Amino acid sequence: MDAVGSDGLTLRTSRRDIFLLACCQALLLVNSSGLTSMNGLIGFSIAQTKALSTFGATTYVLGSALAAMPMSMWMAKVGRRAGFMTGAAVNIVGCVIGVLALHLGSFPLFCAATGIIGVYNAVGLQYRFAAAEVAAPADRARAISLVLAGGVAGGFIGPQTAKLTKDLFATPFQGSFAALAVVALAALAVQSQVRVPPPSHAERAGGGRSLATIMRQPTFIVAALAAALGYGLMNLLMTATPIAMDFCGHPFSAAALVIEWHVVAMYAPGFVTGNLIKRFGALRIILVGVALMAIAVAIALNGTSVAHFVAALAFVGAGWNFMYTGGTTLLTETYAPAERARTQGINDFIVFATMGVSSLASGALVTTRGWDTMNRAALPVLAVIAAAALWLAWLRRRAPAAPA
């Protein structure tokens, strides 16, 4: 489908580049899901203070948070492809440091490695925005969701890669980090073929409204809340899962299976989420995401068998997809071309900062309060997301002709 863009140019949806971006997303998820499946266990094995065992996950998202705005602004100057390839190169450096950290048994160096790898995650989460930029306006929600759907392959491959390469070298998980570096090399090759329109003159020049003005928009508030709190809750439960399963006597292979299906559930709905948003609207899809995650909490509170963990984490993943895709689609309504990089950057900073808090809380909660308490703590946060979506729906009903 064609449409006239903000620069007066005809925009045509590029299915080729959406496919390549989906492949980039898959390779990104091999990295992140593989790291997630082993992060807490590595921390628990080498950290002197066990309550800090998930601090490696915290530094991972803090690295992403610190890189989100600078990388978004830099891509506004040099273009998406250069930014994406830089992220993959940084990831390779982080994986090499991870191998060294495990060889030395150094928890601080391990946390530094995950922080560096987090830069790649910050860059990779811009794939969804690049999808919107290669799609005609009417196709943006579907383009975003299809690129996110690329993570399905990563969900299968990442945990299995970590499991199969765990004992490749003398120290457990050294081989897993080496394998993730090879995956990043493959990502570099795919990224080099992506063609995203170069930054417009307006975007390179900057200008537009102040960031404070943009962030005061009700649509921005709800978009950021849905993405950040949804991601934070998902990260809280996902990060603690391998440790909780270890406490329950389940082997690492079972934890890898749970993370695998969790990540698949995160991204598989992407094949239909965009169409659902186009039909029912982003706000209703966000509310469905809230309901799915509430179901996950109910399942988690009813048992600790492997089947319970698989089902609970699958619903967590699906709920995240609906909230995150809905929030991202809402966000595209809140900025002009000159404001795009700053708006996307601050949104992702908020997401990663929330994830940082949830990662740090995850280890402390699961080791001191237990799996059940952690799940109950998710319910008030879900209520906040639902209230925000209903508030925006009410505002839009009151002023249907007003701009979003």
Q: Is residue 3 part of a domain?
A: no
Q: Is residue 234 part of a domain?
A: yes
Question: In the prediction, which pLDDT does 338 show?
Answer: 85
Question: In the prediction, which pLDDT does 8 show?
Answer: 38
pLDDT tens digits along 50-67: 767 778 878 888 898 899
Q: Is residue 384 part of a domain?
A: yes
Number of domains forming the structure of the chain: 1
pLDDT tens digits along 363-375: 778 777 888 888 9
Backbone phi and psi for residue 250, each to the nearest 5 degrees, phi listed first = -85, 140
Residue 243 and residue 253: Cα distance in Å, rounded? 13
Return the ∠ at Cα 124 (arms to 132 and 113), rounded to 5°: 165
**Mean pLDDT of each 10-residue bin along the chain, 404 residues long:** 39 82 93 84 81 79 88 88 94 95 93 94 90 86 87 81 87 92 95 86 73 95 95 88 86 83 86 90 96 96 92 95 93 89 90 82 78 90 96 88 48
Question: In the prediction, which pLDDT does 3 show?
Answer: 36
Q: Is residue 359 part of a domain?
A: yes
Supply the DSSP symbol for 47. -
Question: In the prediction, which pLDDT does 7 show?
Answer: 43
Q: Is residue 6 part of a domain?
A: no
Range of the domain at 263: 12-398
- Side-chain-side CA neighbours of 316 within 13 Å: the count stands at 31
Query: What are the tokens at 240?
Result: 């603690």
Q: Is residue 5 part of a domain?
A: no
Question: In the prediction, which pLDDT does 204 show?
Answer: 67
What CATH number does residue 331 fall under?
1.20.1250.20
Q: Is residue 288 part of a domain?
A: yes
pLDDT tens digits along 176-193: 999 999 999 999 999 999
Residue 206 and residue 74: Cα distance in Å, rounded? 12
What is the pTM (predicted TM-score) of this model? 0.75
Question: In the prediction, which pLDDT does 12 show?
Answer: 66
Residue 225 and residue 233: Cα distance in Å, rounded? 12
What does DSSP say about strands 2-4 and 10-12: parallel, antiparallel, or unpaired?
antiparallel
Query: What are the tokens at 402?
Result: 């007003």
